[in-house]
Structure 1
Amino acid sequence: MKCDRLLFTVFPDIEWNPESVRGLNSQISLKNKTIRAVSINDGDDVYIAGGGIWVKIIQANIGCTNGVVHLITNFMFYKNFTLWEAIKDMPQLSHASSYISRYPEVQALMSSEASGHLTLFLPNDDSLSTIPGRIKQKFALNQTYLNEVHNLFV
């Protein structure tokens, strides 16, 4: 099973450059999964989209004797997890995860697939570090305050 997941990201030999990305619509992995390349900023940034995941190529075309390696910013995998599972497993969202875990009804909403598709915009830990301590205390100690903020977005 884990080998299958790894093979989702193995493709026949592909070299990425701004010229080839412009004309390339998609590629098929050895496990028959499709990815698409998107060039941004006149080709300076290349992203790979597949299975609802976008990753940036940060170093392309590392030549090897039997192929090419591309260094990317994140795992390329196909969605098989809930919002809550994604949040609690992302180190850059540890503060948001801590706040959410204090509110079972919010955590349940993010854990359930029955709620339909939801979109979240969460501040990462770096941005939360800029919030004054007294505001953080309100989030940490007052469920009503967090519920009021939550209700603004639901």
Structure 2
Amino acid sequence: MWSTDREALRQVFYAAWRHFREHAPLNGVETLIVEALLAHPEYQGLFADASSSPATAAQTASDVNPFLHLGLHIAVAEQIATDRPPGVVSQWRRLEGLWPDGHRARHAMMECLEETLWEAQRQGVAPDDTAYLERLRATPKGRSQK
């Protein structure tokens, strides 16, 4: 799921939720979006109406951007499915063993990914897979227990 058109990307989220609610077939990325939304009922109402303002959906009461949050869920799901970067699946299994709730394990991975992406963006470089894997290995030490 890649595009430089933020609005087009956001419409994919709205369409996925609409297809799910209408019991229409979902494509690959729509399935990942719906899985993430099902794990986050607090966001579901934001995606019920594609004509609603994206700015409204972009900020929730918790000050979490739901597009970013759900996008990180999708990125982590794709990493686990492909073991990319190599070694991420073993870290996933270790984290999943720490928390019986796979959702919490994914959130721990998302925190590491978000930090890695932020650092890369700040430095104007590609994300550092080695640094990301090191952050995962260090989890849960020093990480919040959401």
Higher helix share: 2
TM-score past 0.5 threshold: no
Normalised to the residue count of structure 1, the TM-score between the two structures is 0.29
| Max Rg structure | 1
Greater relative contact order (Cα 8 A, min sep 6): structure 1 or 2? 2
